[in-house]
Amino acid sequence: MSQTPSDPKQYRRQLRAALGNHFLGQTLANFAQAYGKSRAAAFQGQDFSELAKAVVQAKDASLSRLMALYDEFRLHAEEAGAKVHLAATAGEANAIISRIAYQAGVKRIVKSKSMTAEETHLNDHLEAADLEVTETDLGEWIIQLRREGPSHMVLPAIHLSRGQVARLFSRVSGQAMDPDDIGGMVALARRELRRAFLEADMGVSGANFAIADTGTLGLVTNEGNARLVTTLPRVHVALVGLDKLLPDLNSALNILRVLPKNATGQNISSYVTWITGANECAAGQEGRKETHVVFLDNGRLALAKDPDFREALRCIRCGACANLCPIYDLVGGHNYGHVYIGAIGLILTYFYHGRRNARALVSNCLNCQACRAVCPAQIDLPRLIKKVHARIMDEEGTRPLKNQMLAKVLPNRRLFHQILRRAYLVQKPLAGSAPLLRHLPRFFDPAHGFRSLPVVAAKPLRARWKKLNQPKSKGRPTLKVALFGGCLVDFVYPEQGEAVAALLADRPIELSYPMEQTCCGLPAAMMAEEQTARIVARQNIRALDPAAHDYVLTLCASCASHIREGYPRLLAREKVWGPRAEQLASKIMDFSSFARQVLNIESQSALGPKTAYHAPCHLCRGLGVRQAPRQLIQAAGLDYAPTDNEEVCCGFGGSYSVDFPEISARVLERKLAEVEKSGAELLVTDCPGCVLQLRGGLDQRGSRVKVMHLAEALVRRLGKRT
């Protein structure tokens, strides 16, 4: 199987090579499109969050008493004639299974798909013990013949073309296979696999559920091979993670309501098999099958007790967190996981396959929240990925230089702001009078040239504020609003802040710009620098004084989302700051929601330019704000042109686009192609980070599409002066 480099540079080279595989990128992108549609159809008329709640309840209730459930399962399964084993490690599980095979005189084994067996590298172990093992799931058989691991938890051979499969099958059969003759290839697989089923002495399966109160295993499959694996041979061994234990059938059914829908967009999979104990078997001793259930711990019991990470064990292995991940959709599972792939793979790799294999992987996340939104177990995957990253850095006792610098500079607001202001002086000679820096100096990695960079403003918003905020409305203000700029609005795009001031100028609103505010701290959280993130959170709470304001308004969806969700979590254990963080979280508001709810913008009749919209990840998924910006676009009289994948990430991700420019560029390219296809003249969004990425990318493409923050577009449409 492919190795996961621990060295970030080597990992980046591996990713670059994967990006060169256009078939892979296209296949995964097509799959993501088709999956999104069938998933939506499967859940139509159902409340996903209610179904997910039931999954969480079932899993959480089990995780708090795994060993009690194990004892209960063992009692009932053994009463029904099965033998139950507990393996502390992957090696122990493999040894138990090969011992069972040896004692039963087994020579040939058939296997159905099991991620737990992939986790223990069971096939390698059994083959080393001179046993013949045949994978019988079609995708697993294909990758077994290629001697590689799965690239997806549900669709293990998704990375291969039929041409590649035809070449492989030609080698296996010794006759040339036609890639267009799918029926011929299926017939070959059926012939080979039937022979293996009939000759096998032992079947090895996994299980989706282990029901404690009856000692029953539950298997959810589509190909029917698992039924043959578990029924035909005289010995059956199920290798099951301890996390699959559930108290009763009802809990399993709650998961089953979601699993096929979320995995493949099916209402129900083709087969759901329930096995209790040792069943009749003509080939077995005394007409009974020899049945073993091997439970695997391999860190699960410790994980279940870890307050920071236990939710990762709720995973039901639906694979959805890979399906809609913009990075997985470009580079595939062999480059985005170790054995377990996708978002959950980034986390589990650390716990099941060690720090070395997880080290480089965990920094490859855009924090776009797409995985979290589709996870039926409601695992906060992006947050846990950052937490694993932080833990790895803590364990290694070293931090990259950029982290060390950030931790030094960010807590010191004056120093940080001085550096930002000086950046203008450094950039000015390079940019001249142009608003964008099109060519980077030579010492920059050319991979960063995929977008033009904005020039830092000569005068930041804070220096313009006094002149700006002249209240024009008569009478006493009815609302007090503090504006939180965030680094980009304050120092790079002050015109966005000016636009808000113009929109509010004739309203009975007192708008202030607290000068002690600083970076929201999201960049620190993204770099797994929690301590720094905490320091700046406290500084901002003090500066923004939520008790004294009705709203704290921000133009940056990422800042808003971080303040609303991140601050209370970061400061939860602090007596003074915890409640204040909650208070600020309740007052922070993104621009679109504020404009819809508070400003109540009247509809404009004249039709403006054709306008596409990009939904920032932290707005649509982080804050759950979906309709407000689209309603605003229409109220402003802009000619709204919806595009495909409006809610897919633009590839910015703050420091991510600096660390992984090739991936950021490719994610952006897909987004901009959709925008250009729509024929829009204007692209609006409500996050300055997205403005930076989209504007810079369009500029490099020589596009005529203009990019604006929604606040600027509104000011123009409403004829307000900034």
Residues that bind ligand SF4 (CB under 6 A): 315-321, 325-327, 343-344, 365-371, 374-377, 379, 381-382
Q: Are 67 and 301 in contact (CB under 8 A)?
A: yes
Q: Which is nearer to ligand SF4, 365 or 635 (CB)?
A: 365
Q: Are 533 and 570 in contact (CB under 8 A)?
A: yes
Q: How far is the CB of 255 from ligand SF4 (least distance, A)?
A: 9
Q: How far is the CB of 570 from ligand SF4 (least distance, A)?
A: 18
The distance from CA 129 to its chain's CA centroid, rounded to whole angstroms, is 38
User: What is the helix (H) or strand (E) element at residue 37, kind and residue range?
Assistant: helix 22-43
How far is the C-alpha of 333 from the C-alpha of 341, rounded, in Å?
5
Q: Which is nearer to ligand SF4, 316 or 528 (CB)?
A: 316
Which value, to the nearest 10 degrees, does the dihedral of the CA atoms of residues 295, 299, 302, 305 take? -80
In angstroms, how far apart are the furthest CA atoms of the chain?
95
Q: Are 594 and 553 in contact (CB under 8 A)?
A: yes
Q: How far is the CB of 368 from ligand SF4 (least distance, A)?
A: 4
From 36, 48, 39, select the one nearest 646 (Cα to Cα).
36
Listed in sequence order, the DSSP H helices in 114-181 are 115-120, 122-128, 138-145, 162-173
SS3 label, residue 276: strand
Q: How far is the CB of 154 from ligand SF4 (least distance, A)?
A: 9
Could you tell me if residue 60 is left (phi over 0), alpha (psi between -120 and 50 degrees) or otherwise beta?
alpha
Which 3-state string (H, E, C) describes 477-507?
A: CCEEEEEECHHHHHHCCHHHHHHHHHHHCCC
Q: How far is the CB of 350 from ligand SF4 (least distance, A)?
A: 14
Q: How far is the CB of 407 from ligand SF4 (least distance, A)?
A: 23
How far is the C-alpha of 404 from the C-alpha of 149, rounded, in Å?
37
Q: Which is nearer to ligand SF4, 366 or 711 (CB)?
A: 366
Name residues whose C-beta falls within 8 Å of residue 351's C-beta, 6 or more positions apart in sequence: 299, 303, 309, 312
The distance from CA 680 to its chain's CA centroid, rounded to whole angstroms, is 29
How far is the C-alpha of 658 from the C-alpha of 523, rounded, in Å?
12
Q: Are 258 and 60 in contact (CB under 8 A)?
A: no
CB neighbourhood size of 402 (10 A)? 13
Q: How far is the CB of 367 from ligand SF4 (least distance, A)?
A: 5
Compute the chain's Rg from CA coordinates.
Answer: 28
Q: Which is nearer to ligand SF4, 233 or 326 (CB)?
A: 326
Q: Which is nearer to ligand SF4, 376 or 688 (CB)?
A: 376
Q: How far is the CB of 320 from ligand SF4 (least distance, A)?
A: 4
Q: How far is the CB of 659 from ligand SF4 (least distance, A)?
A: 13
Burial class (CB in 10 A: 0-12, 13-18, 19+), 458: exposed
Q: Which is nearer to ligand SF4, 319 or 568 (CB)?
A: 319
Q: How far is the CB of 347 from ligand SF4 (least distance, A)?
A: 8
Q: Which is nearer to ligand SF4, 275 or 379 (CB)?
A: 379
How far is the C-alpha of 505 from the C-alpha of 100, rounded, in Å?
79
Q: Which is nearer to ligand SF4, 235 or 392 (CB)?
A: 392
Q: How far is the CB of 228 from ligand SF4 (least distance, A)?
A: 26
Q: Which is nearer to ligand SF4, 369 or 593 (CB)?
A: 369
Could you tell me if residue 147 is left (phi over 0), alpha (psi between -120 and 50 degrees) or otherwise beta?
left
Q: How far is the CB of 364 from ligand SF4 (least distance, A)?
A: 8
How far is the C-alpha of 79 from the C-alpha of 287, rounded, in Å?
17
Q: How far is the CB of 512 from ligand SF4 (least distance, A)?
A: 34
Q: How far is the CB of 375 from ligand SF4 (least distance, A)?
A: 3
Q: CA-CA distances (angstroms) from residue 404 to 412, 648, 694?
A: 14, 32, 29
Q: List the structure tokens of 290.
A: 């020899």
Q: Which is nearer to ligand SF4, 365 or 520 (CB)?
A: 365
Q: How far is the CB of 617 from ligand SF4 (least distance, A)?
A: 8
Q: How far is the CB of 335 from ligand SF4 (least distance, A)?
A: 13
SS3 label, residue 164: helix
Q: List the structure tokens of 403.
A: 């982290």
- In this structure, what DSSP letter does residue 462 have? H
Q: What do you get for the CA distance between the two ends of the chain, in Å?
A: 59
Q: Which is nearer to ligand SF4, 77 or 346 (CB)?
A: 346
Q: Are 142 and 160 in contact (CB under 8 A)?
A: yes
Listed in sequence order, the DSSP H helices in 257-380 are 259-264, 300-305, 320-323, 328-331, 342-358, 370-374
Fill in the amino acid letter for 404: Q
How far is the C-alpha of 722 from the C-alpha of 720, rounded, in Å?
7
Q: How far is the CB of 667 from ligand SF4 (least distance, A)?
A: 9
Q: Are 685 and 649 in contact (CB under 8 A)?
A: no
Q: Which is nearer to ligand SF4, 97 or 525 (CB)?
A: 525
Angle between helix 688-700 and 661-678 (nearest 10)? 80
Q: Which is nearer to ligand SF4, 31 or 424 (CB)?
A: 31
Q: Which is nearer to ligand SF4, 30 or 175 (CB)?
A: 30
Q: How far is the CB of 653 from ligand SF4 (least distance, A)?
A: 7
Q: List the structure tokens of 264.
A: 């493949």
Q: Which is nearer to ligand SF4, 346 or 612 (CB)?
A: 346
Which 3-state string (H, E, C) describes 555-572?
A: CCHHHHHHHHHHHHHHCC
Q: Which is nearer to ligand SF4, 522 or 553 (CB)?
A: 522
Q: Which is nearer to ligand SF4, 40 or 186 (CB)?
A: 40
**φ, ψ at 47 (rounded to 5°):** -95, 100
How far is the C-alpha of 345 from the C-alpha of 336, rounded, in Å?
8
Q: Which is nearer to ligand SF4, 326 or 688 (CB)?
A: 326
